[in-house]
């Protein structure tokens, strides 16, 4: 899928997402989707950038070259205004990616969580919406070291989407289901959680969407939760 190139200095709302290589024939390697507030989102998987490799925080020489070329292509040819990643372990490549392009780079939105916590009341919590809670738990020590984020803190709640219809295979296989099915199931799940949190006196101050595949639903999530 191609988007028309934009002139430098006149970048539109295009977000580039560096994706894992799920080594699965059914997983899309490059695709566009609509995000929130008029953004278009380009997902592009990097050859041989596997979940195992990112968990080590390392890159092969060949993979590093592919990553750099993809970043340059996103910036110079596609005209993205920012770059992020689709796995928290990609924070290990934050400096490399930042130094490769001139547009803002945040390899995981989780790097903003500490700022959000300081901006909210001490009794308020953030909810991190992720593709798979077990996979995020695997990243606990890494996120503590790179983002200063303790996902087991009482002020942080993880809401995994592994049981959401259409999302079950995303975290492990890179396969996503029908968008309408995901939307309906996701909204039902969040509505139930919001009601339960209200009953137990949990005050949620913000929702952080960690999985870029959830970006098409951010507007509806915001309207439902009435939260940033």
pLDDT digits (tens, 9 = 90+) for 44-62: 999 999 888 988 889 999 9
- Say yes or no to pLDDT of 3 above 60: no
Q: Given pLDDT bands bounded at 50, 70 and 90, which one contains residue 208?
A: very high
Task: Report how far apart, in Å, the C-alpha atoms of 62 and of each of 90, 142, 192 are.
Answer: 17, 24, 46
Residue 105 bridge partners (DSSP) = 83
Q: Taking residues 157-184, report their average pLDDT.
A: 79
Exposure string over 7-17, b if 16+ CB within 10 A, otherwise e: eeeeeeebbbb
Q: Which band of pLDDT confidence, cut at 50, 70 and 90, is reported for residue 181?
A: confident
C-alpha triplet 27, 139, 16: angle, nearest 5°: 45
pLDDT band for position 172 (cuts 50, 70, 90): low
The per-residue DSSP string of 130-159 comes to: ES-HHHHHHTHHHHHHHH---TTSTTEEEE
- The whole-number pLDDT of residue 11 equals 66
What is the overall mean pLDDT for the chain? 88
pLDDT recorded at residue 169 = 66
> For 186-198, what is each residue's pLDDT tens digit?
999 999 999 999 9
Residue 9: the pLDDT is 47
* Strand arrangement, sheet containing 30-34: 30-34, 40-45, 14-19, 82-85, 105-106
State what percent of residues in the chain have pLDDT above 70.
Answer: 91
Question: Rounded distance, CA 115 to CA 104, Å?
Answer: 17
Global pTM reads 0.81
Only one residue has tokens 């699965």, namely: 24
**Number of neighbours of residue 203 by Cβ within 10 angstroms:** 11
């Amino acid at each position: 899928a191609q988007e028309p190139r934009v002139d430098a200095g006149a970048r539109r709302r295009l977000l580039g997402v560096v994706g894992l290589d799920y080594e699965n024939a059914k997983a899309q390697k490059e695709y566009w989707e609509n995000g929130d507030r008029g953004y278009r989102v380009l997902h592009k998987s990097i050859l041989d950038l596997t979940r195992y490799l990112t968990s080590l925080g390392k890159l092969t020489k060949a993979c590093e070259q592919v990553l750099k070329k993809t970043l340059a292509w996103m910036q110079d040819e596609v005209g993205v205004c920012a770059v992020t990643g689709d796995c928290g372990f990609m924070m290990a490549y934050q400096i490399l990616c930042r130094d490769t392009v001139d547009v803002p780079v945040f390899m995981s939105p989780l790097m903003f969580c500490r700022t959000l916590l300081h901006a909210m009341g001490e009794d308020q919590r953030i909810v991190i919406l992720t593709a798979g809670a077990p996979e995020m738990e695997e990243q606990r020590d890494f996120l503590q070291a790179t983002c200063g984020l303790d996902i087991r803190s009482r002020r942080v709640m993880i809401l995994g989407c592994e049981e959401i219809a259409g999302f079950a295979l995303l975290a492990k296989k890179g396969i996503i289901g029908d968008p309408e099915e995901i939307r309906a199931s996701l909204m039902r799940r969040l509505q139930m959680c919001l009601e339960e949190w209200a009953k137990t006196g949990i005050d949620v101050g913000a929702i952080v969407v960690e999985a870029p595949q959830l970006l098409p639903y951010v507007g509806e999530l915001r309207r439902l939760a009435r939260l940033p």
